[in-house]
Structure 1
Amino acid sequence: MRTVTRLTLIWLAATGVTLPQTGPAPVPKPGEPTVESGSETVTKPEDGTTAADPGEQPALPSGNAPKPLADPRDEADPAPADAEKPEAKPETPSRDHEADVKERPAKPEAAAPPPPPDPAPVAETPEDLALCLKDLKAIGADFSQEQTIDGEFGCGIANPVTVRRILPEVALEPEATLRCDTALSLARMTRDMLIPAAARAFPDKPKLSGVGQASGYVCRNRNSADDGKISEHAYGNAVDIAGLSFGDEKMPVMIARQDDGTAEAAFQRAFNALACLYFTTVLSPGSDATHQDHMHLDVIERKSGFRYCR
């Protein structure tokens, strides 16, 4: 190829033939006007502008600059102008806004269940009463049967007994009127637990000779309040113990703290615990504001044999 080109150039030089300075003039399209520009024929555009030089990069018309590629995620189909707008949801009122709370209708409060009625005086069956009286006599208690007590406000005892001595050697000081079950529970606790515990705790003292009671049957509310539930004392179910007698010596019940290492405190703690084996309610000294200097013992019947002791 190089050899042919070289021979062509040598031949052109020898013969004096030269190449034309410009290429062939452009042929105008049918109906397109032409103008003479020197030795060249220039096609004149219809809008009167001169055609750009073939070597120049034509400028882009204004407004037709290339746009950067758009991120497809930024493109969203705009809603038509006449598209139906979704119905705006009402604003949820604030819970703690006072005006909102007032505007909302108040929910009717559920009626509280009525309090359980106070237990009525217990009337033992003739068979249960006969068995209790037999056991109370067999244990050596000194007592007498009384007429039915039909007190006001629901107070009363169907078959009361007045007890003077709970055991042959232990007096009830002073005597008290109780239900037979209450008297029998007190007598059994004294015989089985109280006398042996006192002898162990106070070997130098005389034998237990008396149990000092502060309240037997009395028609009143609990804790002697002006209103509220009726006390178990009002049914003969309760007895309050204020102290014990050892011959001529009187020993009051006491608040027994756990860090108190005296024999008296140890005996009182044992008394509080063993009483709950015979009574269903035991409020020991210091258990609340109204039981600071005595013990409350009662035989109220509860579901499933539940006992309340503190």
Structure 2
Amino acid sequence: MIAPSQAPRRLLPALLAAVIAALPVSAPAMQGGQQAGAGRLQAPAFPPPGRVRQIEMSVPVPIPTPRPERSEEPSPAGKAGAAGLPAEERSCRAALTTFGIDFTDHAPIAEPGGCAIPHPITITRLSPAIALEPVALVNCRTARALVDFFVAQVPSLAQEHLGQAVQSVRHASAYVCRPRRGTENLSEHAYGNALDIGAFILSDGTTIPVEQQQDRNGKAQEFLDAFRAAACGPFRTVLGPGSDADHADHFHLDMKERRNDYAFCQ
């Protein structure tokens, strides 16, 4: 028989166990149970929005390479579209560039009646030291013949007969779409093959017109005669005062092609 004084002591442990069993299971304990349970899927862990943005912004983005600025300088061989020209045209333009002659490619010319220059150019100089006024529209073959002649022969002719340099040349016509006077045949001007020279301007400012002058000094006339004689050969046609009335005031120089390389000089 249990003594009355000992009964509460023996019941105390049982009461404590009952109280603990009645308490609710805590959240961590439940989570632990779920993790341990077989076949349970856990929701994927996503980082908070702020962190996602940080990760996205940290990916390196390549900076586009800036395009080079467009060059306004003309191309070396012809200053415009030389790559599409025939070989002889490219070679001609290269020769002008070698001489130091500036030129500008012009749009192809094709007019009613047959006047045409497939690959025309404009020039303002006959040599680095001799200007051409006004600007002349010709084909490149004619331009090169002019430059060859004025570089190789005119300076020495001027020094020999005038004692000074030719500074510029004034021309009367280059490309002109017209027939030869009194015929239906096109002039060589209609193909950019010709240049008419009206006057020479010397380094001291003196102007020597080609047209015959009664009071012209002997040295000036000697120079004109020597120029005319030297031009026959480099040019296929040379006409001037005394040839006919149409050429009384200028020298006509052209590159007309004839059989056997024949030159007509009068």
TM-based fold match above 0.5: yes
In the alignment, which of 198, 205, 208 is matched to residue 158 of structure 2?
198
Q: Which residue number in structure 1 is paired with residue 209 of structure 2? A: 252
Q: Does 1:143 align with 2:98?
A: no
Instruction: Return the structure number with greater relative CO, CA threshold 8 A, min gap 6.
Output: 2
Within 2, Cα distance between the matches of 1:302 and 1:166? 25
Q: Which residue number in structure 1 is paired with residue 148 of structure 2? A: 188
The code of the aligned residue for 1:153 comes to: G
In the alignment, which of 167, 176, 187 is matched to residue 218 of structure 1?
176
Shift of 1:284: 2.2
Deviation per CA, 1:152-205: give whole Å up to 9, x if none. Answer: 1000100000001122221111111000011111111111111110111111x4
Q: Does 1:233 align with 2:189?
A: yes
Deviation per CA, 1:56-89: give whole Å up to 9, x if none. Answer: xxxxxxxxxxxxxxxxxxxxxxxxxxxxxxxxxx
Q: Which residue number in structure 2 is paired with residue 178 of structure 1? A: 138
Within 2, Cα distance between the matches of 1:196 and 1:255? 23
Q: Which residue number in structure 2 is paired with residue 208 of structure 1? A: 166
The code of the aligned residue for 1:253 comes to: V
Check conservation: 2:122, 2:136, Cα contact below 8 A. Answer: yes
Where does 1:289-308 land on structure 2 (aligned, <5 Å)? 289-308=245-264
Q: TM-score, normalised by structure 2?
A: 0.64
Unaligned stretches of 5+ residues in structure 1: 1-124
Q: Does 1:160 align with 2:120?
A: yes
Within 2, Cα distance between the matches of 1:162 and 1:245? 21
- 3-state secondary structure, aligned to 1:133: helix
Deviation per CA, 1:208-251: give whole Å up to 9, x if none. Answer: 1111110000100113x5x5211010000000001111132221
Within 2, Cα distance between the matches of 1:213 and 1:186? 12
Unaligned stretches of 5+ residues in structure 2: 1-84
In the alignment, which of 263, 279, 304 is matched to residue 219 of structure 2?
263
Check conservation: 1:215, 1:239, Cα contact below 8 A. Answer: yes
Percent sequence identity over aligned pairs:
38
Structure 1 stretches of 4+ moved >3 Å = 254-257
Q: Which residue number in structure 2 is paired with residue 286 of structure 1? A: 242
CA 177–217 in structure 1, closer or farther in 2 if over 3 Å, else same: same
Within 2, Cα distance between the matches of 1:173 and 1:218? 16
Q: TM-score, normalised by structure 1?
A: 0.55
Within 1, Cα distance between the matches of 2:242 and 2:213? 8
**Greater helix percent: which structure?**
2
Where does 1:95-114 land on structure 2 (aligned, <5 Å)? none
Within 2, Cα distance between the matches of 1:261 and 1:163? 31
**RMSD of aligned alpha carbons:** 1.9
Q: Does 1:131 align with 2:91?
A: yes
Check conservation: 1:254, 1:265, Cα contact below 8 A. Answer: no
Within 1, Cα distance between the matches of 2:209 and 2:228? 14
Deviation per CA, 1:38-61: give whole Å up to 9, x if none. Answer: xxxxxxxxxxxxxxxxxxxxxxxx
The code of the aligned residue for 2:160 comes to: R
Check conservation: 1:155, 1:219, Cα contact below 8 A. Answer: yes
Shift of 1:277: 2.2
